[in-house]
Amino acid sequence: MLALAFVVGLVDLAPATSADSDLAAALVELAVEQRSPNTVSGVLFDLRATDTLGEALALFAASAGLQLVLRELPGEQRRSEPRSGAPGREAPPTSDAVRAAALALVVPTAVFAVYVTFRGHLGLGGGLQAGALAVTALALVFLAGRYRAQRHFAPDRQLDILEAVSLGGYVVVGLAGLVVAGAFLANVLPLGVLGELVSSGTILALSLLVAIEAGAAVLLIVAEVQEEPLEREEPG
């Protein structure tokens, strides 16, 4: 039934090159008129904010599913070395060139992540991009051979809480719109002055929540993948 509805919808769509199709122009105009000079953020967190919630839920499900599959079972213990490693073989140390390049890029990447997080509603960036940049900054720490430092700044329990709270916050904002304005994810915050940092109503709030949720979810996935080489075995 879903496939049939999808085909019917495609048939009814106007050709992308048709002069009669002004949907793209209308979306751009609406996005700017309704709070954000960044038309991408205007579409993602206003005109199709419900779809963005679905994307955030998909990330949440992927993170939770991977943690469930790779969880530590009762009675297991960590191996002293990965199963694929030959006896007596040690992992090669991180080269000085990789270490220097990674450490040099950590701070600029983190600063850029903060910039994209708080200005996603005004220009280049947004919640998903900001989350990816935050993950990149911590991944650079890992590439520099600082695994313990990375795990210190991104502990699993705190990331789980951040992911759940930020996703729940997105839903709460949507429910507030339903109660106050009569529509799920409708704007309920002051719009401010177009182009200023604190503006765009709920677009800014939703973008920040998605940045936290996406960053926490991807970091949890990366952490599970990093832990996987240290396979576990039952005692004896």
| pLDDT over 80 (residue 216) | yes
94-99: Cβ within 8 A, 24+ apart: 94/143, 94/144, 94/145, 98/143, 98/144, 99/144, 99/145
Query: By the 8 A CB rule, do 137 and 109 touch?
Result: yes
- Residue 140 has a pLDDT of 87
Distance (Å, whole) CA 209 – CA 49? 12
Distance (Å, whole) CA 121 – CA 199? 8
Distance (Å, whole) CA 6 – CA 12? 10
Reported as a single tens digit per residue, the pLDDT across 31-83 is 666 677 777 888 888 888 899 999 999 999 999 998 888 776 666 555 544 45
| pLDDT over 50 (residue 180) | yes
Residue 71: count of CB within 10 angstroms of its CB? 9
Q: At what angle do helices 127-143 and 202-227 cross, to 10 degrees?
A: 30
Q: Give the distance from CA 59 to its chain's centroid.
A: 7
Residue 236's pLDDT band (cuts 50, 70, 90): very low
| pTM score | 0.75
Across 95-128, b (16+ Cβ under 10 Å) vs e yields eeeeeeebeebbeebbebbeebbbbbbbeebbbb
Distance (Å, whole) CA 9 – CA 224? 40
| pLDDT over 60 (residue 169) | yes
| pLDDT over 80 (residue 150) | no
Average pLDDT for residues 86-111, to the nearest whole number?
81
Distance (Å, whole) CA 135 – CA 129? 10
Q: Lowest mean pLDDT: which of 33-37, 48-52, 84-88, 143-147?
A: 84-88
- Residue 134 has a pLDDT of 87
Distance (Å, whole) CA 150 – CA 46? 35
Which residues, in sequence order, are bridge partners of residue 233?
77
Percent of the chain past pLDDT 90, that is, above it, reads: 25
Query: By the 8 A CB rule, do 50 and 185 touch?
Result: yes
Helix or strand run (H / E) with residue 77: strand 77-78
Distance (Å, whole) CA 214 – CA 56? 7
Average pLDDT, the chain: 81
- Residue 81 has a pLDDT of 45
Distance (Å, whole) CA 100 – CA 146? 12
Average pLDDT for residues 142-151, to the nearest whole number?
75
Q: Lowest mean pLDDT: which of 114-128, 165-179, 198-212?
A: 114-128
Please tell me which of 92-96, 150-154, 204-208 the model is most confident about, judged by mean pLDDT: 204-208
